[in-house]
């Protein structure tokens, strides 16, 4: 898979999707790994525990695979995939399977490998950043979900105002208002320090598990 990742790392989603639809199923792993961190952060922002977040990620990737032929490129694959994830999150929460947790109950261990390779920083700074990430995660978890979801989509994952409005079924004005209120509710002395990489970090060791679980579902689906 490492060689495949190197070959396809710069390929746009649409090209990878074309190859998958032409029968090269192995290429779907590229899409899984490309968007695992995105899905994890959004799922956690909805209050799901680590294992519940992994469950909805697996279901989201599998649902995307089975519906891939319906993808019309009217929105980006990232947006399309996120919409599927949000549906899975709503289902978890509405039917009582998703369990809310206190912040820090499920933090990842500091010994796991980051998804994008080792950080180029000294040990002291690494410890400081991890402690900062914990504090930031606690602050985010204290926000009402209506504000937290907007903050994660806009500020951490970089969705536009219109994309966020579409995903959450809000008006663009409501997105802007909720984002401003979310920022105001976070501690002023932390706003300039939050990191999209550190918050709700999803590590390579978990990424491998998601890939394996999704491909098990795909293999059963194809039998």
Mean pLDDT of 141-151: 90
Question: How far apart (Å, rounded) are the C-alpha atoms in residues 77 and 17?
Answer: 9
Q: What is the DSSP string of 184-222?
A: HHS-TTTGGG--TTTTT--BHHHHHHHHHHHHHHHHHHH
Please measure the distance between the N-terminal and C-terminal CA atoms of the chain and give it in whole angstroms: 23
The pLDDT of residue 127? 56
Domains for the chain: give ranges and CATH numbers.
Answer: 2-102+202-222 (1.10.1740.10), 123-193 (1.10.10.10)
The per-residue pLDDT for range 94-130, each reduced to its tens digit, is 775 444 433 333 333 333 333 334 444 455 556 556 6
What is the reported pLDDT for 74? 85
Distances (CA, A) of 136 to 63, 139, 159, 206: 31, 5, 20, 21
In angstroms, the CA 45 to CA 185 distance is: 15
Arithmetic mean of pLDDT over the chain: 80
- Pick from 144, 132, 133: nearest CA to 199: 133
pTM over 0.75: no
């Amino acid at each position: 898979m490492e060689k495949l990742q190197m070959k396809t790392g710069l390929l746009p989603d649409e090209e990878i999707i074309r190859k998958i639809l032409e029968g090269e199923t192995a290429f779907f792993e590229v899409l899984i790994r490309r968007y695992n961190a995105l899905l994890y952060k959004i799922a956690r922002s909805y209050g799901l525990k680590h294992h519940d977040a992994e469950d909805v990620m697996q279901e989201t990737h599998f649902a995307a695979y089975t519906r891939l032929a319906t993808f019309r490129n009217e929105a980006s694959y990232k947006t399309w995939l996120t919409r599927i994830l949000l549906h899975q999150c709503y289902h978890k929460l509405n039917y009582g399977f998703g369990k809310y947790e206190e912040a820090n109950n499920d933090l990842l261990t500091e010994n796991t490998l980051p998804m994008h390779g080792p950080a180029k920083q000294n040990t002291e700074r690494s410890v400081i950043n991890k402690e900062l990430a914990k504090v930031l995660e606690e602050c985010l978890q204290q926000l009402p979900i209506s504000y937290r979801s907007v903050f994660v989509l806009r500020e951490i994952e970089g969705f536009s105002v219109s994309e966020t409005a579409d995903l959450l079924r809000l008006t663009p004005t409501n997105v802007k208002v909720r984002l401003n209120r979310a920022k105001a509710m976070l501690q002023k002395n932390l706003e300039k320090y939050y990191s999209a990489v550190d918050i709700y970090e999803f590590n390579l060791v978990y990424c491998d598990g998601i890939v394996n679980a999704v491909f098990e579902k795909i293999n059963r689906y194809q039998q």
